[in-house]
Structure 1
């Protein structure tokens, strides 16, 4: 993975905010409060049960929202890739503690920004765009998990999200699809 200079990372972040509807003067203000950071693989950006104060724009790398159960179970809620904003919407809207942990799945270059910005009136277009995007995504994911068999879920990822299949491990894919890694290996062998 090529590490981008901080100025390049912030420029990419500003472009994404502009695409979401943030005015130029507000983009400048956002950049003054944003910080480019590196997160090595495995670094925890937000602990499960903590209050979320920052969102992350992913310049390079992959982040994951994971749930660690009381009995040691690990469930993958979501993966976030380059060009995406990573934040927990429920926590943003309610102020509740984070039910998931945000962590770096790979080494990552991120732009960290204060979530309080999304509550400002001048950011309403950005917030509405993000919430609309998230609602559509949640509907698609519900259909993905409820209406498809594991084989169909895997094939959907192969056809519609090939980057996931290429860059996530079998264990990570299996957790997301809702099957065991052994079942995923058998499924892949049967399809090969």
Structure 2
């Protein structure tokens, strides 16, 4: 059983949790194989689990009553996906977590982060999330659309290779047509 969950054990060990402590909780973990567009957390539901991504890509989206879709975030292989605000406040999820391609995830009970032995991981995850949020705000507020796209190319090339134009455009705050023009202009510069 341990070999099936080696990556998630290593993930928590990277935050200073002894592997024996993580292994002692493995009976609570569940491996799940998912297809494209499958929902892991329904918008408005209580969040009890995070999803460690073994393969594939997930996203968190809010769906408005008029059908308007707002994508909050994308999550990739090796990341633990969950909604921090909902978790910290113990409130229903404002976003839906879903796959954007076939994925394999390990379902991790968020209650583990309340255990004393998991405190270093909880603190590290919160620090990591705060830094990421600050970086995202700076990216969106202080840069032009072209600078935002070039940032993705330089620092997160896996985003550019794994997401489609609609997803990238939505994330950097432009429409897909503008992104296509931007990409064509950048290609001509090379």
TM-score with structure 2 setting the length: 0.95
Aligned length: 187
Structure 1 pair 107/7, CA: closer, same or farther in 2 (3 Å)?
A: farther
Question: Alignment partner of 2:24: what SS?
Answer: helix
2:140 is aligned with 1:184: no
1:127-174 Cα offsets, whole Å, 9 max, x none, are 001000000000000001111111110010011111100110001101
Unpaired segments ≥5 residues, structure 1 = 1-5
CA distance in 2, matches of 1:165, 1:8: 31
- Runs of 4+ residues over 3 Å off in structure 1: 6-9
Which residue of structure 2 aligns with residue 170 of structure 1?
A: 165
Which residue of structure 2 aligns with residue 46 of structure 1?
A: 41
Which residue of structure 2 aligns with residue 132 of structure 1?
A: 127
Q: C-alpha root-mean-square deviation of aligned residues, in Å?
A: 1.2
TM-score with structure 1 setting the length: 0.94
**Which residue of 60, 64, 68 maps to 2:63?**
68
CA distance in 1, matches of 2:143, 2:4: 38
Aligned positions of 1:139-158 closer than 5 A: 139-158=134-153
- 1:23 deviation in Å? 2.2
> Do the aligned partners of 2:50 and 2:81 also contact (CA within 8 Å) in 1?
yes
Unpaired segments ≥5 residues, structure 2 = none
- 1:190 deviation in Å? 1.4
